[in-house]
């Protein structure tokens, strides 16, 4: 659990970078053999690209680093429950482990179908979820 | 219907480019005001990136061209039924229309949930589906 918290703190750092850019503050890191191999944060506004979620960029960066399409030996840490697009992408990557912070009952994958993830992906939820929620609430409060 | 066939033929051209690169042959084009604003084909092997489906790249190219995150005035033509990742991405883009060729009962979005698409997206299926299937079957026959 100690490692999960440490890596989620790194994902939260990424979420804060997103916040500072006026993006919905969501961050992610990919860990392989106890090493962070990819870091990313939501850039949908900056890039005018609805696919530029933190997870999507983290997958692209991690597979590029590894030189292969699969992340079965990796764990993705993300501050918010992935949406269906990101869960679908994680499926294709055959992700080994998914650790997320806050749940997203409205747009998260789980409410639609847990089958969106690969059956081999081990999931851990609710890691530093309060910190993630606080940051997201602060963002939307500012926007109002 | 005539236009649908014309644009699907362009998507099939993209699928053939993928075929020639040793990629699963799937192609897509995005049409806005009767003009093709984006073309793409599957590049998952070439880029070592499981997110590099034709649709994902077409969304990124089209939103980049338009300078905005939404494709509500656009129609995406794709030779195969989108997977859950791509349907999730099309949801975020608020795509106006989706026209696809062959169905994909194994990995297509529809069998999991039609709710993966945005409720406003109008869907037309089975346009030049046989040509798409022939190309995909030829690809997998070669691989065996």
- pLDDT tens, residue by residue, B32-61: 999 999 999 999 999 999 999 999 999 999
CA dist., res. A128 & res. A106, Å (int): 20
Interface of B with A (CB under 8 A): 44-45, 47-51, 56, 59-60, 63-64, 66-70, 83-89, 91-93, 112-113, 115-116
DSSP string, A11-80: HHHHHHHHHHTTS---EEEEEETTEEEEEEE--TTTTT-TT--HHHHHHHHHHHHHTSS--TTEEEEEEE
What pLDDT is attached to residue A11?
98
**pLDDT greater than 80 at residue A112:** yes
Cβ–Cβ below 8 Å for B92 and A69: no
pLDDT at residue A32 above 80?
A: yes
- In the prediction, which pLDDT does B73 show? 97
**What is the rounded CA–CA span in Å between residue A36 and residue A15?**
16
Q: Do A91 and B112 touch (CB under 8 A)?
A: no
Mean of pLDDT values over B96-100: 98
Percent of chain B residues topping a pLDDT of 70 = 100
Exposure string for A24-51, b = 16+ CB within 10 A, e = fewer: bbbbbbbbbeeeebbbbbbbbeebbbbb
| Alpha-carbon span B24 to B36, nearest angstrom | 23
Are the Cβ atoms of B70 and A50 closer than 8 angstroms?
yes
pLDDT-derived band at B143 (thresholds 50, 70, 90) equals: confident
Q: CA angle, corner A81, sides to A79 and A82, nearest 5?
A: 105
**Is the pLDDT score of B1 beyond 80?**
no
In angstroms, the CA B55 to CA A119 distance is 24
Using CA atoms, how far apart are residues A94 and B80, in angstroms rounded to an integer? 22
ipTM above 0.85, yes or no: yes
Share of chain A above pLDDT 70, in %: 100
């Amino acid at each position: 659990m100690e490692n999960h918290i440490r890596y989620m703190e790194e994902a939260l750092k990424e979420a804060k970078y997103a916040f500072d850019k006026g993006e919905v503050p969501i961050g992610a890191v990919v860990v392989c053999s106890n090493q962070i191999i990819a870091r990313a944060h939501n850039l949908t506004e900056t890039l005018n690209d609805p696919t530029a979620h933190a997870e999507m960029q983290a997958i692209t960066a991690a597979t590029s680093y590894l030189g292969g399409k699969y992340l079965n030996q990796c764990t993705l840490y993300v501050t918010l429950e992935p949406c269906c697009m990101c869960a679908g992408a994680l499926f294709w990557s055959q992700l080994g482990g998914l650790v997320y912070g806050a749940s997203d009952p409205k747009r998260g994958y789980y409410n639609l179908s847990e089958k969106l993830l690969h059956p081999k992906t081990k999931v851990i939820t609710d890691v530093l979820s309060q910190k993630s929620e606080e940051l997201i609430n602060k963002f939307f409060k500012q926007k109002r």
